[in-house]
Structure 1
Amino acid sequence: MQTLMLWLFYISSFYAFIPGMITRIFGFRVFRKGKSEREFALTFDDGPDPRYTPQLLDLLKRYDAKATFFVVGRNAEQHPELLKRMHEEGHLIGIHNYIHKSNWFMRPGTVRKQIKMTAEIIFSITGEWATYYRPPWGIVNMFDVYKRGQYKIVLWSSMFGDWREKTGADKLAKRMLNKLKPGEVMLLHDCGSTIGANPDAPKQMLIALEQVLQEAERRQLQSIRIDEMIKVTENAPESKLSIGKQFVVKLWLMWEVVFHFIFHLKTVTPADPFLHYRLRRYKGETVILDNGSTLEKGAPIVELHFDNQKLFRIGVNSRSTVHLAIQMIRTMEKELPTLAYQLMDNAGLRDAKALYGVSMINRGPEKFGFSIRDLPNGWFAKSTTVYLKVLMSVIHPAGQDRLKKSPAKLVPKMIIMPVDLLFERYSVNGSHRKVNSEVMNTIIATDSPELLNVSQ
């Protein structure tokens, strides 16, 4: 009996658990998150529902938002008018099995039958064959992964518990707004009749979704269909990187997660991360700053760290070094006033002597108020130089060419700004707005926009 149970465990793990883990964690042979500058994807499961799906379609129409509906075949069969409306209003329709049953508990032939039946129902109503498939609960078995046929499996990058009515619209909206970012694939539900869901849960989802669509409109973000997101992702510059560069980037971004966890970094703008910081003691030699003040060993400083993922996205999507510089400058201009406010509002940070970071910036940042100083000779300066040059070769639009043409200029330096100067320049509305033209004039005149900052 014990041997039989062990064999059943091995078989179930091989058939369902391991394929499910690989797809959910590593995204193997499925699509779960996009790469874009201004687009995200709203996806809705379990419908159509005669009460809530029409309300959802009305809401999407008001905000000119397109979505993807993964429909349950039986529901689609009962409400063909809703599928017809989805199709006519420009939404994408995908498959969510004929009945909402996990693929873990069905044989491969049964799963294929469920998909085929639903595809035929969608075709009979819309005249188009569905080619995108989301298994119920996102659970796949071995045959789903290896014998997908003409169907592309689509999972998600964020879900919010919207199938539970008790979550409430306010909490749901907060969760969704925290994930409102380019490339995000959001999982929501327009029907509450599935086992484990609450019948009126979509009512709370609709209230929350309207807040999200309003904020998306304010941020100039657009909801698009999954097929469009896949196309945007495939055409994204980072998708065209060599395998070697992709490997470097993966390691780099993994290290950032570990680094943030270890050192408890705070983020200036969590909704769109660019600058992170932490309070620590200065460990270097005494530095005399441009305003005459001194930074001595042991003084409290706010150490700056740029968001590596944001840097990567800006870098690989920039058409030229000047384009890269413009994007970095505009983002920095928005961040510094917010940082100044956060430091002033925190008694523990307010008494810091200076902002401090290590960067390859050689020209331009002094216009923001930073002093530029050489790193003392030693292992830190040498290792940082190697580290940043590797990243430059991956992220900078000119890549290796930039390193070959100007290797002497690509030297990491300390950037330092007295906190008093930060408060003086950026805590008064409008005082920072003249920086853009000054920095751009410096960059264009010198043709040296090394704005790839890393201070880790």
Structure 2
Amino acid sequence: MKFPLPQIVKSLFPELIWKMPAGGNALYFTFDDGPCPQVTPWVLDELDKYDAKATFFCIGKNAELYPELVELIKTRGHSVGNHTYSHTKGWAKRTGEYVEDIELANSFLNSTLFRPPYGRITKHQIKRLSARYHIIMWDIISRDYSSVVSPRKCIREVMPHVREGSVIVFHDSLKASRNLFYALPRILESVHKQGYKCRAIDL
């Protein structure tokens, strides 16, 4: 599937948040799958260069391993979201099991923001989770995690699609680091020059 997502996909799941309201030249950078000691502190330093704020959707087991990184994310002015404890696909789990995994993650994260790994979640799971969480999807994904996407291509996956209110996905993980280390500084510089302000999701 190419990104940004076709409007028909978004229309099937209107209860999910695909984009933030336009206004104030705001963009919403998000980082999935951390925290990671080799990557997350570098991301925070890059964001600081532009006074950019972001949202980090953390895997619970990583948050359990590296609570000091979760705290560092918060103290640097960013928001934290839940990305399940074990990075599990909603389609592969019964709703009860899936919710339990998310609640376990939240014992380390204490967030009302949730993003399903791979974007795979069922209608019934959405209904259960929406009572407690804002489910944040995206309208742009960098594909930084892909071994067949070059660092330059990673930039091209993002920049032509940027609009006010865009929710952009990156990954603060070792798997994504080759592309992230190249693309993120250049994308941050580009959006800064265009007058955009990077904000954390705060709902």
Q: TM-score, normalised by structure 1?
A: 0.41
Asked whether the equivalents of residues 23 and 30 of structure 1 are also in contact (C-alpha less than 8 Å), the reply is no
Could you tell me how far apart the structure 2 residues matched to 1:85 and 1:163 are?
Answer: 23
Q: Does 1:219 align with 2:197?
A: no
Q: Which amino acid aligns with 1:208?
A: A
User: Whose RCO is larger (CA < 8 A, sep 6+)?
Assistant: 2
Give the direction of change, closer, same or farther, for the CA distance of 1:96–1:23 in structure 2 (3 Å limit): farther
Name the amino acid aligned to 1:82.
Answer: L
Q: Distance in 2 between matches of 1:72 and 1:23?
A: 29
Question: 1: distance between equivalents of 2:170 and 2:69?
Answer: 17
Aligned-residue offset at 1:166: 3.9
1:414 is aligned to none
Of 12, 17, 20, the residue aligned with 1:34 is 20
Gaps of 5+ in 2: 1-5
Greater C-alpha radius of gyration: 1
Structure (1 or 2) with the greater helix fraction: 1
TM-score normalised per structure 2: 0.90
Alignment-derived partner of residue 142 in structure 1:
123
Structure 1 residue 179, shift from structure 2 partner:
1.9
Cross-structure match for 1:161: 143
Q: Is the 8 A contact 1:32 1:155 kept in 2?
A: yes
In 1, Cα distance between the equivalents of 2:8 and 2:169?
Answer: 16
> How has the CA–CA distance of structure 1 residues 110 and 22 changed in structure 2, closer, same or farther, with 3 Å as cutoff?
farther
User: Are the counterparts in 1 of residues 142 and 155 from structure 2 also a CA contact under 8 Å?
Assistant: no
Distance 1:45 1:186 in 2: 11
**Deviation, structure 1 residue 24:** 3.8
Q: How does 1:137-216 map to 2 (within 5 A)?
A: 137-148=118-129, 149-192=131-174, 199=175, 201-216=176-191
- Could you list the runs of 5+ residues in structure 1 that have no partner in the other structure? 1-20, 123-128, 193-198, 231-456
Structure 1 segments, 4+ long, off by >6 Å, are: none
Aligned residue in 2 for 1:93: 80
Q: Which residue pairs with 1:103 in the alignment?
A: 90
Distance 1:22-1:150 versus aligned 2 partners, 3 A rule: farther
The corresponding residue for 1:133 is: 114
Cα deviation, 1:93-112, whole Å, max 9, x if unaligned, reads 00000001101111111111
- Matched pairs, number: 195
Aligned residue runs from structure 1 range 349-364, under 5 A? none
Could you say which residue in structure 2 is the equivalent of 1:25? 10
Rounded Cα–Cα distance in structure 1 between residues aligned with 2:187 and 2:67: 29
Q: Is the 8 A contact 1:42 1:225 kept in 2?
A: yes
Measure, in 2, the Cα distance between the counterparts of 1:62 and 1:184. Answer: 21
